[in-house]
């Protein structure tokens, strides 16, 4: 005679572990973007396709974690953070993977050559953006510690510092992106106009990786202050 324990059913799965799993997959996904541009610079088409496949697969994985997490967050849950705020952080995390997917998709669909002048600064920008994503993942990694300290005190200060650091990285990427854009416009007469348009678009998208990473951090700060 096993009575269903009201005590055990009180506990639902914590959303924080899946949040961390999600951003870890997302960060892996973003981390493949530099490979994409390296292969492109080297003119290795096969490699570009291969990396694109990997990015698509990781994005798919992230989507599954996201959907699973959403399905297990009914409104009847009492959580230490606001449910809507948490879902927004999740959305921002997911946008990083979506952006990586867009970049990979375009590079496969439209074969493009990297102008020699852009190669170095382009890779530097991509790498800095990936650093922003990694940093966001590190911040989300603090979620369990935040629960331990009740989203306050020293742990909260630590996370606030980490978010500030993330903001700085994002500022860097903004400057690098603008410098790269002006370089692109400097050589626009030597390129096909449509290529210029697409490169401009790509630079925007690469910058978006860091933008969304920054938003992950900023939204997390909203969770702290309830």
Catalog residues that contact other proteins under the rule CB under 8 A. Answer: 1-17, 73, 76-81, 144-145, 147-155, 226
User: Left, alpha or beta for 151 (phi > 0: left; psi -120 to 50: alpha)?
Assistant: left
Q: Other C-beta atoms within 10 Å of 177: how many?
A: 21
Q: How far is the CB of 141 from other proteins (least distance, A)?
A: 9
CB contact at 8 A, 147 and 16: yes
72 or 168, CB closer to other proteins?
72
Closest CA to 18 of 58, 55, 65, 59: 65
21 or 98, CB closer to other proteins?
21
145 or 174, CB closer to other proteins?
145
Q: Write the CA distances from 166 to 10, 77, 97, 172, integer angstroms.
A: 37, 31, 18, 10
10 or 71, CB closer to other proteins?
10
Q: How far is the CB of 162 from other proteins (least distance, A)?
A: 13
Q: How far is the CB of 1 from other proteins (least distance, A)?
A: 4
């Amino acid at each position: 005679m096993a009575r269903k324990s009201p005590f055990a059913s009180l506990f639902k799965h914590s959303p924080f572990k899946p949040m961390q799993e999600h951003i870890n997959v997302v960060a892996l996904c973003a981390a493949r973007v530099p490979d994409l541009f390296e292969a492109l610079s080297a003119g290795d088409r096969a490699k570009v396709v291969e990396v694109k496949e990997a990015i698509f697969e990781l994005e798919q994985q992230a989507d599954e974690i996201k959907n699973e997490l959403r399905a297990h967050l009914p409104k009847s849950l009492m959580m230490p953070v606001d449910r809507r705020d948490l879902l927004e952080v999740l959305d921002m995390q997911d946008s990083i993977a979506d952006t990586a997917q867009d970049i990979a998709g375009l590079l496969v669909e439209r074969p493009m050559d990297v102008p020699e002048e852009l190669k170095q600064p382009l890779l530097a920008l991509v790498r800095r953006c990936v650093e922003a994503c990694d940093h966001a993942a590190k911040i989300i990694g603090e979620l369990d510690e935040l629960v331990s300290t009740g989203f306050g005190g020293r742990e909260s200060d630590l996370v606030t510092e980490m978010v500030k650091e993330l903001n700085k990285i994002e500022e860097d990427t903004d400057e690098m992106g603008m410098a790269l854009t002006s370089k692109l416009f400097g050589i626009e007469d030597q390129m096909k106009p449509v290529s210029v348009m697409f490169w401009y678009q790509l630079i925007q998208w690469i910058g978006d990786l860091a933008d969304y990473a920054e938003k992950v951090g900023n939204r997390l700060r909203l969770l702290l202050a309830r």
